[in-house]
Structure formats: C-alpha cells, structure tokens
C-alpha cells in the first residue's frame, strides 16, 4: 500500500509552507492566485485526497449548487431555471443564482465565492469573448476541488472534461436558411448577438455552411456581428435596409434581436413580411401575438435545464462515467413573418 | 445583573428535555413542528440569546439570502432578480432561488431549508389563498431565529412586524378605470389572477372603489375571479363576450392575463380596440410590438427588487428601526389597445 499524499508532501514539492498549501486547498484568503493554481495542480498530480476541508463539505452536504447565468434579464433563463428547479427540488437541492452580466471579472468573483461557500456543483453558461480571456482555469479548479461543473448553452472548447448540454446551433440555423430558400429568399442577412460566444459562432457557422450548400451569396455587409448595443445595431440595420440592393430576409440569433429587427422594420415603415422577412430565434409566448406572428427557431430551454441539472446530480452522486455532451435539437415554428417570394 | 437565560431554563419551562430544545433551536430534525414553535415562543419570551448555533451562523456569515418566488416562469421575476442582484453583488451577498409554484407545502419546505441552511435573510412573495392557510408561523420563526424577512409584491396581513415593498395596487387599478372612463367606457370587466392573493385583492378593491366613485355599474358576471386555469378562463370570457350586452373594456391583472385576453379576442375575431378595449397589467418589452400595442399598468419591478434587497441588507446589518412599509407607484403606459368611444 502506497503512502497517502499529505499537505506536507505538496508543500515540499512546491517549496512553500504547509499552511499556505492548506489555505490554498480550503480557498481561504492570503494565498496568491498563482500559488493556489500550482497547489491544485500538484495536489492533482500527487493524487492528494483531502480529508478535512473538501471532505467535510461533502459530508455536511450543503445541498446547494451554483447557477451561473450570463444575463439574468434574458427570458431564456426563466424557462431554464424552471427546468433546473424541477430536478433539484425533489432531491432537496437548492440553487444560488449568479448573474455575470457578460463580465469576466464578475464571473471570476462568483466562481470563487461558490467554491469557497462549499456548493456541491456548478451549472454554468460561461463567459467568453472570442479571445482566450475566460475563466477556464477557475472551472478546472472547481473540478479539482471535487465540485463538478456542467456547461449549458455555451462551452469553453479548451476544457474537454466538463459535461455539457447545448443546442445543435449549426443545424438550427441551417434549417432556418433552408426554409428561407424554400420560400424563395436568396438575399439573406444575419444579426449576431456577439462574435466570440460559442452559441453565436456556431449559429454563424451554420449560416455560412447553409449559404455554401445552397449557393447563396454571403454579403459581408449584411452580417451584423455585434448587436449588444441596440442603438449601434439599429443604425447599421437601417443603413443596410435603406439601399436598393438589400436583403429580403434577416435572421435573428436571440429574443432581444427578434424585437430589435421588428422595431427597425417599423421605424423604416417596411412591412413584415411583405417587404422584409424575419426569422426569429428563441420564443416567448408573446411572439405569436406580435404583428406579424414571428416565425422562429425555438430551443427546448426547459429540457436543457432539466438535463443539465440531471447530469450535475449524477456527478454529485459520484458518476464517474465519461464526459456527457448532450446536444439538443431546435424546432422551427413557422408563423407569418416570412413571405413566399415568386421565382426569379 | 440578571442571570442569562439558558437552554435548560427553556426546557424546564416547557417540561421537555434540554436536547429537544437545542434541536428545535438549531432546526435539526427529531422535533415536532408544534414543539419547535413553543420553544421559539418561550425563547423569545425569556429573552434567550443563543450563543452557539444562531450566533455561529452569524459569525461564519453565510453571505447568502433566500429569495422565495411564487412562480418562476413569470417574467416579473427577471426584472425583480436583476434589481436584487444589483444590491447584493457589491456587498458580496448571493441569493438562493426558491420557487414555490403557488404551493403552500413547497413554500414550507423551502423556508425550513433556508432556516436550516443558515441564510442571513429571506426575501419573499408569500403563498396565500384567501383562507388562513399560509406559512405565517414559519416566517415568524425565521424572524425569531434572527433571520430577517422582507415581503415584496405580496403581504401576509397578520404579520405586522415584517418590512415590505409593494405596489400601490389599488391606486394603479383606480387610475386604469379612470382612464377607461375618460375614454367613454362604462361597461368594464376585470380578469383576476386568483382571489385571495394580496395583490389581486387590492387590485379588485381598487376596481370596485373606482366603479363606485365613477358610478359605473359592477356586473358580477364580468368579473373573472380565477384565471389560473387559462382554458376555463377562456371559456368564461368567450361566454361573456358572446352576448349582446357585453363589456366594452376588460382589465387584466398580470402579464399572463394580458396574453390570454388578446388570444380570446382573436379567437372571437373581435378587433382590439375597435370592438373590445384591453387594459394590461405588467409590461414586457414585447407588449408594444403586439397587435395592437397594449395599453398597460407598469410596475417598477426592478426598483422593487432593489428596495427589498436594501431593506434586507439593513436588517442584516442590525437596523432596529420600526418596520418599513414601502409602497411604490405604478405607471399607466397609454398605447393603442383602448379605444375612445363617442358619448352616450
């Protein structure tokens, strides 16, 4: 029987004091982020099994998980939380909501709190911006700290070990473009929430792929790559739609943008779908009461919540199966915002 | 100096074992609800100051509060949570979301968890159904356990000691009815979410009061007193609207009902506002993109969240001022779902 790794072994290895190692492992203050990272790496390499801190958390069972959301005002999260809650409540688990507001630093603070607080797991739609600036290291630290993480909606591609539930975003948009093409549209623009976010990159890739297959010309100018500032995005859209050669159809990539596109069309007095067709993304029940009822790509959001929570509960209960990557299928709700054009 | 009250004193008083008292005070299992209640009452009467359990929670500072919501799918809560989070985050507090789904038993379980978990405070829109069946006792127990509670949106009138933030619901509906009267409407119906809930009773009282002042006849049949089952409510509405003598305007009492009324009008092919005027309650940004844009009573929901969280933080920090009862003013957003009738 090999000797069990102790805190002293880690301290010797890193040439620091055992108390620093202990503080790092229990997420107490007084240790630099860098050292904390090195301690966790060494602990992992040496197969260190905590017997007080992490284990006592496990034993005392906080029965609480963290839910990291990127923007709490997005109606997506209502359905998502209701799905999560349906799985957690019967198992006597609760969730702490952490709204990052698309801010990396805020997410960092929240993850550290959650680890320090002794949550038993984390559900996250992680921050990302297209650069390598994200909190992958912290998610790894949580995992090393015996706090399983499940990503939902978004992924950090550099982490291969975390379970995930996402939409088949590419296929969703490809089906949308194919439907537009079926209706005779060949001049199609797309309004992206923001480049760099996993879901948005996937949706954009689906758009490009569909255009390629269907031999639809991609006009750079008709791709709005950041609609997070609605005023700026409106300006761009008005410019594009004001020209003689303009798209006959626009594709949205979330509920905010559905509304933005409708508003812009109204301001320009373009009739929808007569003069401009709109394909929405996400679905609020009100979407079929607007004028016109919006044809939209619906995600099974509540199911996404249920599955994410179920995967997390499995990990908390000790599942050690391979990583699960669940990919869900979107549904195209055909309403009245897409017109059928006569042939060329 | 008087002798400090001990657990033994409470046990002697109630003629039970000290260990039962201890378990009751620390919310451990193995004690009946009845005994727990009596223990808290005795502890309060004898000025018992906990020195281990409750105090250690305070000292260890969970920096977490509970947020009890009545229905997580209602968009009201997105804005509310975003307001709460804006106050809590800078103070390093987090919140656990507890969705009661309008179920008294579920609320009871959540409150007990929150107390047992050592949250530092609770924000709640409490369950109520018009009977005396509610969790007032448990909210009192939380307060006695040094866990301050703030009610938002709804109140339990029998508890006089809890801070609250509510809307001036009566005035909100009175202003709505006055506006309808100004537009020439005298045949007005109202669709209530469910009788017995504080906010709904207040809105109904405002409706009756306004009708009395404006000498508008109240037709019992035009008052839908439970719209929680949309199928049943639709049937009732269709019956009422199918008659020759029918209301010219209907008032809603939440976002779900706004949509319900619009759907029913469409199914009956009644043009809005030509043949039927609608006054909404609550506001989603989509409300002004529906056909027609909905005239609605808007609550300052995000402010309600900020104020509720601020009051709670004050109590956690030890404010011992008198109970605060903050009442906010609604805003009437005049859009296009109310027609102007010509004089009689």
pTM score: 0.82
> Are A289 and B290 inside 8 Å of each other by CB?
yes
> Are B85 and A79 inside 8 Å of each other by CB?
no
> Are B284 and A289 inside 8 Å of each other by CB?
no
What burial class does residue B296 get, using C-beta atoms within 10 Å of its C-beta: 0-12 exposed, 13-18 middle, 19+ buried?
buried
> Are A117 and B259 inside 8 Å of each other by CB?
no
**CA–CA separation, B337 vs A39, rounded Å?**
64
Phi-psi region of A68 (alpha: psi -120 to 50; beta: other; left: phi over 0): beta
Of A63, A75, A81, the CB nearest to B97: A81
Give tens-digit pLDDT for A239-249. 999 999 999 99
Of B63, B75, B106, the CB nearest to A75: B75
| Ranges assigned E (strand) in chain B | 64-69, 94-99, 121-124, 149-152, 163-167, 188-191, 223-224, 249-251, 277-281, 295-298, 325-328, 331-333
**CA–CA separation, A103 vs A107, rounded Å?**
6
Of B63, B73, B286, the CB nearest to A78: B73
Of B78, B82, B95, the CB nearest to A96: B95
> Are B96 and A98 inside 8 Å of each other by CB?
no
Give tens-digit pLDDT for A74-88. 999 999 999 999 999
Residue A19 burial (CB count, 10 A): 13
Of B72, B92, B113, the CB nearest to A81: B72
**CA–CA separation, A172 vs A175, rounded Å?**
5
> Which chain B residues are Cβ-neighbours of A291 within 8 angstroms?
289-291
The pLDDT of residue B162 is above 70 = yes
Q: What is the largest CA-CA distance in chain B?
A: 80
> Are A99 and B85 inside 8 Å of each other by CB?
yes
Q: Mutation test of the interface with chain B: which of A66, A70, A81, choosing the one with the most B Cβ atoms within 10 A?
A: A81
SS3 state at A287: helix
Strand order in the sheet with A163-167: A325-328, A163-167, A149-152, A121-124, A64-69, A94-99, B94-99, B64-69, B121-124, B149-152, B163-167, B325-328
> Which chain A residues are Cβ-neighbours of B291 within 8 angstroms?
289-291
Q: What are the DSSP calls for B211-241, one per residue?
A: HHHTTPPP-GGGEE-B-SSHHHHHHHHHHHH
Give tens-digit pLDDT for A199-234. 999 999 999 999 999 999 999 999 999 999 999 999
Chain A residues within 8 angstroms (CB to CB) of chain B: 62-64, 67, 72-75, 77-79, 81-82, 85, 89, 92, 94-99, 106, 110, 113, 117, 259, 262-263, 266, 284-287, 289-291
**CA–CA separation, B279 vs B288, rounded Å?**
13
pLDDT cut 70: percent of chain B above it: 93
SS3 state at A3: coil
Q: Which helix (H) or strand (E) holds A189?
A: strand A188-191
- pLDDT category at B132 given cuts 50, 70, 90 is confident
Nearest to A280 by CA among A152, A183, A197, A190: A190
Give tens-digit pLDDT for A24-62. 876 666 778 788 778 877 877 776 765 433 433 444 688
Give tens-digit pLDDT for A123-171. 999 999 988 899 999 999 999 989 999 999 999 988 989 999 999 999 9
> Are B289 and A79 inside 8 Å of each other by CB?
no
Span between the terminal Cα atoms of chain A, in Å:
78
Measured on CA atoms in the order B239, B245, B249, B251, is the torsion positive or negative?
Answer: negative
Nearest to A188 by CA among A255, A246, A102: A246
The pLDDT of residue B30 is above 80 = no
> Are A263 and B95 inside 8 Å of each other by CB?
no
Measured on CA atoms in the order A31, A35, A40, A44, is the torsion positive or negative?
Answer: negative
The pLDDT of residue B11 is above 90 = no
**CA–CA separation, A272 vs A255, rounded Å?**
17
Q: Pick the more confident residue, A44 or B282.
A: B282
Nearest to B106 by CA among B76, B79, B72: B72
The pLDDT of residue B338 is above 70 = yes
> Which chain A residues are Cβ-neighbours of B68 within 8 angstroms?
none
The pLDDT of residue B217 is above 80 = yes
- pLDDT category at B13 given cuts 50, 70, 90 is confident
Nearest to A249 by CA among A307, A155, A300, A178: A178
Of A78, A85, A117, the CB nearest to B78: A78
Of all residues in chain B, the one with the smallest CA distance to A93 is B113
Contact B210, B173 (CB under 8 A): yes
Q: What are the DSSP calls for A135-151, one per residue?
A: -HHHHHHHHHTT--EEE
The pLDDT of residue B58 is above 50 = no
pLDDT of residue B49: 62
Does the model's ipTM exceed the 0.95 cut? no
What burial class does residue A212 get, using C-beta atoms within 10 Å of its C-beta: 0-12 exposed, 13-18 middle, 19+ buried?
exposed
pLDDT of residue A310: 95
Of all residues in chain A, the one with the smallest CA distance to B116 is A62
Per-range mean pLDDT, top range of B14-18, B54-58, B65-69: B65-69
**CA–CA separation, A35 vs A20, rounded Å?**
9
- pLDDT category at B12 given cuts 50, 70, 90 is confident
Which segment of B38-52, B203-217, B307-321 scores lowest on mean pLDDT?
A: B38-52
Give tens-digit pLDDT for A65-114. 999 999 999 999 999 999 999 999 999 999 999 999 999 999 999 999 99
> Which chain A residues are Cβ-neighbours of B94 within 8 angstroms?
96-98, 110, 113, 117
> Which chain A residues are Cβ-neighbours of B69 within 8 angstroms?
none
pLDDT of residue B43: 77
The pLDDT of residue A5 is above 80 = no
**CA–CA separation, B85 vs A258, rounded Å?**
26
- pLDDT category at A19 given cuts 50, 70, 90 is confident
Q: Pick the more confident residue, B224 or B12.
A: B224
pLDDT of residue B1: 40
Domains, chain A, ranges and CATH?
Answer: 7-50 (1.10.260.40), 63-167+301-329 (3.40.50.2300), 169-299 (3.40.50.2300)
Take residue A94 and report the two structure tokens written for it: 């609760």
Contacts of B50 (CB under 8 A, 6+ apart): B25, B146
**CA–CA separation, A215 vs A195, rounded Å?**
24
**CA–CA separation, A291 vs B292, rounded Å?**
8
- Give the count of alpha carbons within 13 A of B268, CB side only: 21
> Are B92 and A73 inside 8 Å of each other by CB?
no
**CA–CA separation, B106 vs B67, rounded Å?**
14
What burial class does residue A278 get, using C-beta atoms within 10 Å of its C-beta: 0-12 exposed, 13-18 middle, 19+ buried?
buried
The pLDDT of residue A1 is above 60 = no
Give tens-digit pLDDT for A173-192. 999 999 999 999 999 999 99
């Amino acid at each position: 029987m090999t000797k069990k790794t102790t805190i002293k072994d880690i301290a010797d290895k890193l040439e620091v004091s055992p108390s620093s190692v202990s503080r790092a492992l229990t997420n107490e203050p007084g240790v630099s982020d860098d050292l904390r990272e090195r301690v966790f790496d060494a602990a992992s390499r040496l197969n260190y099994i905590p017997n007080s801190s992490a284990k006592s958390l496990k034993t005392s069972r906080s029965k609480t998980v963290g839910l990291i959301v990127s923007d709490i005002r997005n109606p997506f999260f209502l359905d998502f939380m209701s799905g999560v809650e349906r799985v957690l409540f019967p198992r006597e688990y609760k969730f702490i909501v952490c709204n990052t507001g698309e801010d990396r630093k805020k997410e960092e603070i929240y993850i550290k709190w959650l680890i320090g607080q002794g949550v038993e797991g984390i559900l996250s739609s992680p921050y990302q911006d297209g650069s390598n600036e994200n909190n992958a290291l912290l998610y790894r630290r949580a995992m090393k700290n015996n706090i399983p993480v499940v990503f939902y909606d978004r992924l950090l591609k550099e982490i291969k070990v975390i379970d995930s539930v996402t939409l088949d975003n590419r296929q969703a948009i490809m089906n949308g473009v194919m439907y537009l093409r079926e209706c005779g549209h060949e001049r199609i623009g797309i309004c992206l929430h923001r480049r760099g976010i996993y879901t948005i990159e996937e949706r954009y890739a689906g758009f490009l792929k569909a255009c390629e297959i269907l031999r639809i010309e991609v006009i750079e100018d008709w791709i709005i790559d950041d609609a997070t500032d609605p005023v700026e995005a409106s300006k761009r859209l008005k410019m594009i739609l004001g020209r003689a050669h303009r798209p006959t159809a626009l594709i949205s990539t979330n509920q905010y943008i559905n509304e933005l596109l409708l508003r812009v069309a109204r301001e320009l007095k373009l009739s929808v779908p007569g003069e401009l067709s709109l394909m929405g993304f996400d679905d609020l029940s009100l979407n079929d009461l607007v004028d016109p009822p919006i044809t939209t790509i619906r995600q099974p959001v509540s199911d996404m919540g249920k599955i994410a929570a179920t995967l997390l509960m499995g990990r908390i209960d000790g599942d050690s199966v391979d990583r699960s990557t669940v990919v869900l299928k979107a549904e195209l709700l055909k309403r009245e915002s897409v017109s059928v054009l006569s042939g060329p």
